Amino acid sequence: MFGKLAILLEMIKFKLTVFALPFAFTGAFLAARGVPRWPTFFWIVVAMVGARTCAMAFNRIVDHRFDAANPRTAERALPTGAVKRGEAWLLTFGSGVLFFLACWNLNRLTLQLAPLALSLTLVYSLTKRFTALCHLILGLALSFAPLGGWVAVTGSLSGYPWALSLGVIFWVAGFDTVYACLDADFDRQTGLHSLPSRLGRKNAFRLAGVFHFLAFLLFFATGWQQDLNAWYFAGLAVTAGALLYQHLIVSPTDLSRIHASFFSMNGLISIAIFCATWLALATG
C-alpha cells in the first residue's frame, strides 16, 4: 500500500505543491493582516492539495498517449503500467471531492468560486491541443491560489490586490515556457502547441524573460499597494535574483540544468514572497 502511495505521489509530483501553496498563504495572510485563524489555515491547505492533486492526476490521464510516445516521459507511472487508469481516475475524483469539501468548510464565496478554479486547472491539460498560449492559461489557473487564500479569510473580493494574481500568471507562464523547451521538437512533430514549438527555443526564452520581468513589476506593485515594509521588498530582491539565475543557468542550446532552474528556483521564489509578506505584516 505504501509503495503504491509513493508511486501515486511521484506521478502527480506532489512535492511541487510548494509552487502554489505559498501563494495561497500569501493571499490569506494579506487578508488577515497576519496569521489567519487555524481552522481557516487548515482548510486552505486541504483545498490546495485537493485541487492540485485532482489537476495533476487528470493531466496524466488525458496526456497518457503523448507521455507514452515521448522518450522524456515514457517512464511515467501510467505509460509503464505502475498505475492503472482506474486508479488515476479514482485519485482524480477523490481529490476533487476533497477540494470541494474544503471550500464548503471555508465560506460561501469560496465554494461558489470553486467550480471555476478547478475547471481552469483541468482545462489547462487540454490546451496544448489547440493553443500555444497554454502557458498563460496555466498561469491563470495558478493565479487563483492567492485569490483563493484571500477569499477563504474574508469571504469577499473587496480590497484584493489583483496585481498579485497577475504576477503569478506571468511568473508561471515564464517558467512553463522555459520548461516546454524540453519538448519543443516532440510537440512540433505531434501537432501539440507551445510557445517553444511555435516560436523556436530562442524566441521562447526571450518571451519568458519578458514574462518574468512583468511578474517582478507586479509583485513589486503588490507590496506598494498593500503598504508592506522593507522586509517584503528584501524578499523581492531574493525573488529577482532567483528569476535572473533561472535565465543564466539554462539557454536555448543547453537545457542540462533545467531541473535546477525549474524546481529549486521556483520553489524558492514562492516561499521567499510568502515569508517576506509574513515578516512585513508581523513587523509593520
Residue ranges in the chain whose pLDDT is less than 50: none
Return d(Cα 242, Cα 4) in angstroms, integer. 35
Domain assignments of the chain as residue spans, ordered by start: 2-283
2-283 homologous superfamily: UbiA prenyltransferase (1.10.357.140)
42 is written with which cell numbers? 487548515
Model pLDDT, residue 1:
60
* Partners of residue 251 on adjacent β-strands: 254
CA distance 17 to 77: 19
Grid cell digits, residue 244:
535572473
Note the Cα 237 to chain centre separation in Å: 21
Question: Distance between CA 175 and CA 144 in Å, rounded?
Answer: 17
First vs last C-alpha separation in the chain? 48
CA–CA distance, 180 with 132 (Å, rounded to integer): 11
Looking at residue 4, its pLDDT comes to 72
Q: What is the pLDDT of residues 178-203, one digit of tens each?
A: 999 999 999 999 999 999 999 999 99
